[in-house]
Structure 1
């Protein structure tokens, strides 16, 4: 039996002769605390038992296959259980070498108890062994929940207060990105170091608690169970707010792609000046959740959303270095546009980024920026597109019926690859009417529809017209 001021250990159960318990494997872990002992025969007992709790079973929950037995021990240990006690019953499968080796590797106690020892006796023994420390536990537990209540929605303050109360370091890591959600550490005297243990948080969002403790001063298992619950609730609240931000960001991006700077977009960008410009990054769907979550966790002023063909991030120049450092670790290709300064050009920037990503996907680089000059650059902004339209089309760009008729004739001619019959059919006119209109186009624009160079200019003007009118 443990001393009156100590928490019961697995070793105490083994040393109690009346229980008739022996160690099958994982003897290095018999110093683990035992908060409670509970029987469970479900196939996933790690869902129902928590840290420092001892699983008691007649073997129905233990898989029969060697590899599955080893994985079973791993799941129990990852959940923080104190160990497993298997009754010596006919219902128990044969304990295989892989299970024993995995338990020894992890220092996870696997115990055997004779069939004559009822599990109820073991449970009462654990309960009586831990009751002496309950008053102090309850007092500290009361303070723990008082801290949680007073923290309101300030997760950083909550974690700082919990560290001060419990004397341990707390870091919660988002499992998707590997980024820290909240963190605080106690003051560590010179020459000392902390030992870290990790526990999964079983809330809505996948995260892990990394608990840093002073040597030989582990956090009491009773308090650990409640700490996990408090953190699960608060991390769900934090990540829920982040999800709401991601939804707003996606709506803002949709508006920008449609040429509208919404109030949400202005609010998300805050006081960021776009005088130095912004760039748009295009990336694939597999890495999109990682990017969206990471942008929020690192509190970047970046708008993340998607178009019909790619996921996108609008990155002001002041955030470019941080964003690049973050995403380069994903191993995925990010195509990045040239610099723009007008939010009305987000669609053009997105298209450019998409082309850069497509061209660079097989180049072995994760970050591919726009380089050089292509025809698409000639109309990469609204202002430049309008200049091209006026400069090439001349009077055909005017908003009047005569110009509309000639302009649509030219565009149909270009769309149909200069095929007269198809163009006439699309316009619903006779071939002679088409011939007359093309001559008028040449006269008013000074361009020759049979010249390759002039046709190239006309085609660019046609693309620029579409860009400014859609």
Structure 2
């Protein structure tokens, strides 16, 4: 069966018969192609007869135009331009009877038809136009009916797959059987969701999966649902030919695949909420007995009875929070699956919580999630906190609190995108417990005085000197080395600091207060 034509501008499939097939009907057995052989694959969808001078105003694309040359009998020079005019209007071919009104076709007309690939057909004088019209139109209608029947059969088969609860595997298997091709459903990242066909043909298809559009033996159509692109249905023909009618069936398969994906997304959303609610109950100590927690965890594929670490990822305050939260859950789910198949992961309203094996490299899990998140979101980051090792489900609430605090204090210390472990927080754990930030600000101002602000460059520089002095336990030589100061210059600065702050070199309590004030200044967001 010769394929129909797909209009590039609209994607519409034009069903009909090719000019070559028209020449094969019995009424045209004696017809002769005199030019335009390269256009034999042009599709004839309708026929028309030219016996009036202004026929160009009435012709339509994909027509086979029949004529005796009567309108051109007195203007043979019009024949030179006729081919270009008809080709420009998208006609399939021109079939003419010579001898009655036009004796021969000009050489320029024949040459132009060859250049344009526009078939010129010489009709035998003993065949009537009505016989040609009846036979060719019958073939066109039969062809259209066959294509519609095939498409309807494919539609019924694919709908039955959905009604029977089938997934993408069943959809691709059905299409592979209908078209005798290798078929795969591919998501937006290029991952194969399902495939069907002989293994060697599926392997060849995977090699072609990155190809856009269509080639002779490959076709790709998008899977779209609710305005969102969910991937593609791709097909590879072992025979080397995929017809446009096959692409029409692939498009129906893509519609069915969109229904399957939408249905699965709805199921996943419910299951995801169920998992998140259960994990939230576990982390807040409301999940019930240890046995109940263990049983339900195993049902989700989780193992919470072993030593684990809790990680909390919180979106930093920027970007589209709703979209970013969805991608955050996806990124963390993929990262946890790569590092711990039995790990638990769930998204809450403003965070994602993961419970992974204590032996897993939690910092690498966080980096992998951050990398996947950055690939999916053009802007936005998240901060991650890690708990101490948790021996079992009973102590998970405490570990969750540690990870949550580590995420928030880590962001205050290091800014967006921080990864912090609870054991690395030190005194900042205590400072983070002070909810009254105004009191913290007052403490900093009272302790550091003019050094608390950055509006004066000299004062900010003195604060840096104070910080290094305290870090080196008042080791003047080491401090001078770190700051690249002369020893006497540093002695002068120490004297100036004591005049501003008090005799901190002799007062350990004052040194403690100064150290705490500098720590508070490091906590961003305070």
What TM-score bracket applies, with the shorter chain setting the length? 0.3 to 0.5
TM-score, length-scaled by structure 2: 0.43
TM-score, length-scaled by structure 1: 0.47
Larger of the two Rg values belongs to structure: 2
